[in-house]
Amino acid sequence: MYTFDLMPEIKYSKDYMNSITIKKDFAIFTQQPELSYLDSAATSLTPRCVVDKIIEYYEQYNANIARGVYDLSEKATAEYEESRRATATFLGAQEEEIIFTSGTTMSLNMVAHGLQHTLKDDANIVVTAMEHHANYVPWQRMSRKLLVESQKDATKGDDIFRVVDITSDGAIDTNDLAKKIDKNTAIFALTHVSNVLGTINPVKDLVVQARKINPNIIVIVDAAQSAPHQKINVRDLDCDFLALSTHKMYGPTGVGILYGKKERLEQLEPFITGGEMVARVSHKKTTYKPLPYRLEAGTPHIAGVIAFKEAITYITNISFDVIHAHEQELISYALTELSEQFGDNITIYGPQKPYDRTSLLSFTLGNIHPHDIASILNTESHIAVRAGQHCAMPLHIDTLGIPATARASFSIYNDKNDVDTLIVGLKKVQEVFMK
């Protein structure tokens, strides 16, 4: 059990974050008014404005993009490219540096596949112990390929694929990072925010530290958990690539964003080839279109990409300052109340200070399996939480030494009543197992 530092009382500049007001934007609460949705780290709920935009596409200009010379196709294409412009502005990037994909997982795999041809035999790859599988497995697989191609002894595998330790309070161990990165480190992949620990990593500082050791290192950032909660400027972070998913930030499922510095994107071998990404195909040779289109093969999730612009507008209208203040108050309240109500029987993983973490918490409750916790919360209290390893098995098994955790994650449509409901629900869980 941790003892948490309390956040100072937060005064809001506007009343928009009133839970009754904000919940009106999300139709699911009309259908399920008793729902306490505490799984936004997996998938956030979708506001009406985003749903309306999806319907608008299908009802008013349902056509493929960049292929037709008729009004419907030109309208769809214009809306699609407007979303690219909005995304570029949102992240502080150029339009040609924004690639639309199917999600963070696809984006990171695109980068891993596309960079393989650039790696030398003596290269190594560095990740952190807190990575989601999507930012761990592709690099691990790439390292195995390097091992085979370099014809090194199999025992050298750990020297090629290096995992940076974390500290006892859930931060990246910068001393270990300094040991793991060297002049031959080709890739450093890290998460901006841990989807298990809630840790907010100081990416900008870590990039500086890595580049001091190796100026040529390629830095890849998984921003799936940070993008809904804080302002991101890719120029300021100085990362080479950054990936996120729109379904975690009030947008549709099936859409992802890959940002890359122009010179880095041009290095990538296309992951998928086919329609729209080619400039010319002959029996002997294929040439590709310029960025961003050379990395966008086939028909995309047009409605989803177009609707993401509405999610960006929705976030911008509320503002990250208000979102952050609201979520910080919630996580501070949750950490304090859970600790007081359950004492030594609850273990909450990650930073001890609320302002060092995002609005999620992973925990165990006595000897009760997290799957049982989630199941009982659902059936008894209509509370939705995540249970398992959260696609971070190395972190759970190898680092924390536990089989699983339960995870509650908060968003703009949650309030202190949801925290209180969770506490009542967890007490019911304990009662069930006491019997």
* Residues involved in catalysis: 391
DSSP 394: I
Q: From CA 302, how far away is CA 52, in angstroms rounded?
A: 14
CB 389 within 8 A of CB 44: no
Q: What share of the chain is helix, strand, coil (3-state, %, to 5)?
A: 45, 15, 35
DSSP class of residue 375 equals: H
**Length of the chain, in residues:** 435
Q: Between β-strands 360-365 and 346-349, what pairing exists: parallel, antiparallel or unpaired?
A: antiparallel
Burial environment of residue 148 by CB neighbours within 10 A (0 to 12, 13 to 18, 19 or more): exposed
Radius of gyration of the chain (CA): 23
As separate numbers, helices (DSSP H) first and strands (DSSP E) second, the chain gives 16, 15
| Rounded CA separation 61/82 (Å) | 15
Residue ranges with strand state E in 119-224: 124-128, 161-164, 185-191, 218-222
Kind and range of the H or E run holding 321: helix 320-342
Spatial distance between the Cα atoms of 48 and 121, rounded to a whole number of angstroms: 51
Cα–Cα separations (whole angstroms), residue 339 to 258, 335, 354: 39, 6, 13
Find where tokens 């955790």 sit.
Answer: 405
- Residue-wise burial string across 389-403, b where 16 or more C-beta atoms lie within 10 A, e elsewhere: bbbbebbbeebbeee
What is the biggest distance separating any 2 CA atoms in the chain, rounded to whole angstroms?
A: 73
Residue 299 neighbours by CB distance under 10 Å: 13
CA–CA gap between residue 4 and residue 36 (Å, rounded):
24
Nearest C-alpha neighbor of 412 from the set 336, 334, 333, 314: 314
Angle at which helices 71-91 and 48-60 pack, to 10 degrees?
150
